[in-house]
Structure 1
Amino acid sequence: MTTTIIYAHPYSKSFNNAILKKVSEKYKSDYRVIDLYKEEFNPVYSSNELSLFKYGETEDDKVEEYQKILKESSKLVFIFPIWWNGMPAILKGFIDKVFKMNFAYVDSPRGVEGLLTNIDSVDIVTSSKSPTWYLKFFSGNAIQKVFIKSTLKQAGIKNASWKNFGSIKKSTKKQREKFLKNL
């Protein structure tokens, strides 16, 4: 089992890219990166792809490739910016298309039963223009409430943490370096 980093930022000189480099150093060679922009992942459901949803099937080769990687992973690290108080559309599309029925979950008499129990933990590392306290207390806390406590939990992932570097636009180089050091 290995660590899989799911990275969602289009700009190679972003702070998120610095986070990716720092996290990659931590895992040395025992990790894989799914760079959604670099790999030109298409997050949009086509009509035909959506018709396969009820069977948990796909016509997208990338989806099958990513599912195989996730099944071989024991840890996930998501790295992305907070845009409009949540994750970028490409990452939401990744979740929609890859976390399919019969792969990430099944419907059971008690509701959704998660199948990604091979994943022991998830670290979510984000950056935002908004302060972290604002995201948590005034804009709905989408990462904690929706992504961690709903989506990941329904997929069978019980151990997840979130670390955000807020107020990035006002941050100093020293503050950014300290955040990276503490990762």
Structure 2
Amino acid sequence: MKTLIVYCHPYNKSFNHAVLTAVKENLIQNKRDFNIIDLYQDGFNPIYDREELRLFHEGGTHDPLVKKYLTMLQGATTIIFITPLWWNSIPGMLKGFIDKVMKEGTGLSHTVSKTGIHGELTNIKHTYVLTTSTSPKFYLRLFCGNAIKKIFINQTLRQLGMQDRHWLHFGCITNSSLARRQKYLSKIEKYHFK
């Protein structure tokens, strides 16, 4: 069982980085094999240029990181996204990852037919999205349209074939106490990632 972590935060002293550390500790303690895609550290360019768009329908790319990332996705059985929510949605860097890496074509991330999109990443049996934000989870659900759950998790990731999707959120990050943060990190260290 291979786990892939997709980490999206530019600052290595952020709470998201502490969440990444807790996830890694969990996987090490449970003797799980894992790889990490660190979008900022890798210098991933999320911009979709003309050449990338031209190559899209051929399943091609001119970005070597796109090829590397797609291969990593195809080899994973579990995926864990770790990202902040900025302005009630995923950051542009993570959106660019989805836009550029998810290539149309048989054997890639998805195929398109007359009846819609068919996800090719069915090898990913378990999907986890770990987010942080200044807003509490109830606010995101009730007053912001629940976009992360409705669009990113239940539409985009489902359409790509990713299964058994879960959302864990740490809200009110700005005003959270050290004790509350430590309690959450302890929960992540003990969480049962399948």
- TM-score, normalised by the number of residues in structure 2: 0.92
The aligned residue for residue 121 of structure 2 is: 116
- Which residue of structure 2 aligns with residue 174 of structure 1? 179
Give the aligned CA root-mean-square deviation in angstroms: 0.9
Equivalence for 2:191: none
Number of residues paired by the alignment? 183
Unmatched segments (≥5 aa) in structure 2: 189-194
Partner of 1:25: 25
Q: Which residue identity is paired with 1:117?
A: T
Partner secondary structure for residue 179 of structure 1: helix
- Rounded Cα–Cα distance in structure 2 between residues aligned with 1:3 and 1:73: 6
The percentage of aligned residue pairs carrying the same residue is: 45
Equivalent of residue 126 in structure 1, options 124, 131, 137: 131
Q: CA offsets, 1:106-146, max 9 Å, x none?
A: 01232111100000011111110011111111111111001
Matched, 1:48 2:46: no
Give the whole-Å Cα distance in 2 for the aligned partners of 1:166 and 1:135. 9
Find the aligned partners of 1:109 and 1:132 in 2 and give their Cα distance: 36
Partner of 2:16: 16
Query: In the TM superposition, what is the alpha-carbon distance from 1:44 to its structure 2 partner?
Result: 0.3
The TM-score normalised by the length of structure 1 is: 0.97
Superposed displacement of residue 69, structure 1: 0.6
SS of 1:79's equivalent? strand
